[in-house]
Amino acid sequence: MKKVKALIITGFGINCEEEMAAAYRLAGAEAEIYHLNDIFNGIVSIHDFDVLNFPGGFAFGDDLGSGKVLSNKMKFKKMNDGCLFMDEIRKFLADGKFILGVCNGFQFLVKMGLLPDVAGNWQQEVTLTRNNSAKFEDRWVYCKVNPKSNTPFLKGIYVLPVPVRHGEGKLIIKDEEIKKGIVEKDLNCLSYCDADGNITDKYPLNPNGAELNCAGLINSTGQVFGLMPHPEAFLSLYNHPNWGQMKRRNPNISEDGDGLKVFKNIVESLTSP
């Protein structure tokens, strides 16, 4: 059976690369961490991998808005062969491969224009900006999966409990036409909700005030997936702050964290005939 290979990008302030690599390894994939400059300089090729991953962190200190500097670096970088890095990403997706961005990584994908890409031209249509609370939110939330969203990352998940750790996670949509496209194409794949799956805009269940209560987006093919919460931070039941009570209530509960399912899903999708 083919072994799925995941490439995790690091550098310039990204700091969740080890957790993401651990997620893929626990899910049965091979995971390699490389500095973005290694890709730009041709030391490693994204085309040798099945999933390209942009982890969380604080790229360039978020000085010009979260993810803006690094997204521009990726969007306009010329490779040694004269092609843009974005051309490499275009080919990567054309080959049927997948991209995941978490937190700061989600901000990269949005500001590079890869998400939600309603118009199909890779121009920025939404942004992720300062939380309504005007403070860094570090808390556990629940996210409801849109059952109509076409992505293997979320297969079989109904409600996903996960931690958020961000100061700029509020999704703002460019205009009503883009918003209509997001809704009609079911690109809003994750919405903040309560423990029972009821979508809500109430703080702190919605920790940032995002439009459409959006916690995650996909593109129209489902190959590109970005989300503000950190599934790689819930790989084990024992990551959960309430694991003791959960175990007492259900002694046979799985010791896998719910976030691990996201990574198992994509690995299974890539290895299924």
Please pick, among 125, 166, 230, 240, the residue that the annotation labels catalytic. Answer: 230
199 closest CA partner among 83, 233, 258, 210: 210
139 closest CA partner among 106, 158, 167: 167
d(CA 259, CA 153): 11
14 closest CA partner among 97, 136, 107, 123: 107
Q: For this structure, is 230 an active site residue?
A: yes
Please pick, among 16, 103, 189, 214, the residue that the annotation labels catalytic. Answer: 103
Q: For this structure, is 193 an active site residue?
A: no
The b/e string for 184-195 (b: 16+ C-beta within 10 A; e otherwise) is ebbbbbbbbbee
Q: For this structure, is 166 an active site residue?
A: no
Q: Is 158 left (phi over 0), alpha (psi -120 to 50) or beta?
A: alpha
d(CA 140, CA 205): 9
Alpha carbon 46 to chain centroid, angstroms: 18
d(CA 226, CA 189): 9
Q: Are 190 and 169 in contact (CB under 8 A)?
A: no
Indicate which residues carry an active-site annotation: 103, 230, 232
